[in-house]
Amino acid sequence: MGVLNLTPDSFSDGGQFLDPDLALDRAWQMVEQGADIIDLGAESSRPGAEYVSEEEEWTRLEPVLNRLKKGGFDCPISVDTNKPNIMTRLHDYGVELVNDIKGGADDETLAVLAKQSMIYIAMHMHKDPKQMQTAPLKGDEAIGEIDSFYDSVSGRLRRAGFADDSIWFDPGIGFGKDDAANLKLIKHSLQHGSQHHLLLGISRKSFMGRLLGLDDPIDRDPPSKMLETCFLMMGIKCIRTHDVEKLSHIKRLLS
């Protein structure tokens, strides 16, 4: 899954793809590099990020979706959002996956998405971006909360009409967890990943910067690729990454 941020303030590539035409070019480039899914995000969810209104998020997102639809873009599209009114509009633009960064859409919204045959990705986020790192979850506390999250959300999704293949989970590494908890979550996901369809995203995240002394997000690509290689080898369903080309090369070597 290639990351395409349509935001001015994302931690890694904020501001690079605000122009819809540049975003379109980047989407096609990632497909050429080997992306299986393109994940569009129009609101930053980095720790400390400011809230973006529904109107502003849609203003950033809709022109890109329009261009992708009219341009014959044939790679599956995911949209990273937590706003129900945006989620339910996406089907009309050919979007196949909703990446809900708060993993808690209401029952009415879930029923609509199930009827649209959407894949729903429920991510675990402790608190909201503004406050998530003020009192982050610690090691075993994080594991217990996330296992409970998987159980409760999967039940809600099945009751809403989702088939098991359309229910994916993201443990939200880096979202309201301390560094030790993030490492435990990675290990836990590798050990128990076969129990769920998991999406894992660790690309360039700040916990690696703190642990390894890498302030520039680009410098975190080598450790990111090391972990992503482990994810591939352990059969994780989906890997969300900024550097699609290098991960595609690794995937080809392993296969």
Tell me how long the chain is: 255
Please state the φ and ψ torsions of residue 200, each to the nearest 5 degrees.
-120, 130
Instruction: For residue 50, give the H/E element and its range.
Output: none
**Helices 20-33 and 244-254 sit at what angle, rounded to 10 degrees?**
10
Whole-angstrom distance, CA of residue 238 vs CA of residue 138: 25
Contact (Cβ atoms closer than 8 angstroms) between residue 224 and residue 213: no
SS3 98: strand
Enumerate the active-site residues: 205, 240
d(CA 84, CA 82) in angstroms, rounded, equals 6
